[in-house]
Amino acid sequence: EDKVVQSPLSLVVHEGDTVTLNCSYEVTNFRSLLWYKQEKKAPTFLFMLTSSGIEKKSGRLSSILDKKELFSILNITATQTGDSAVYLCAVERADSNYQLIWGAGTKLIIKP
């Protein structure tokens, strides 16, 4: 059965710290992996990764995919309190153009 596992489930750090969130997957017919940030209720799209070893970067956030070891990491440097959120990882299958398999998320809390 396809699954996406995120770790840690929750993380508390201080402002300015760097964090690394993990997402591992076991999905047949992998096509892409997506990261979302969920504050309050609506997830917002961060990155889509399809190729191994190519880092996607947006400001203080970056992400990379390892298709051989079946995982992705999301890095946040110089964290700010506004980074506090649940970070969701989802995997898209090549044989479905609309269904995503979601992880349970990592709840990140940034203390001032």
Strands (E), the chain: 3-7, 10-14, 19-26, 30-39, 42-49, 56-58, 61-66, 71-76, 85-93, 100-102, 106-111
The count of residues interacting with other proteins (CB under 8 A) is: 21
DSSP reduced 3-state for 81: helix
From the list 18, 44, 52, 81, which residue makes contact with other proteins (rule: CB under 8 A)?
Answer: 44
Distance of closest approach, residue 37 Cβ to other proteins, in angstroms: 11
Q: Nearer Cβ to other proteins, position 20 or 99? A: 99
Examine residue 105 and tell whether it contacts other proteins (CB under 8 A): yes
Site residues (CB under 8 A) for other proteins?
Answer: 4, 32, 34, 40-45, 48, 88, 90, 92, 97-100, 102-105
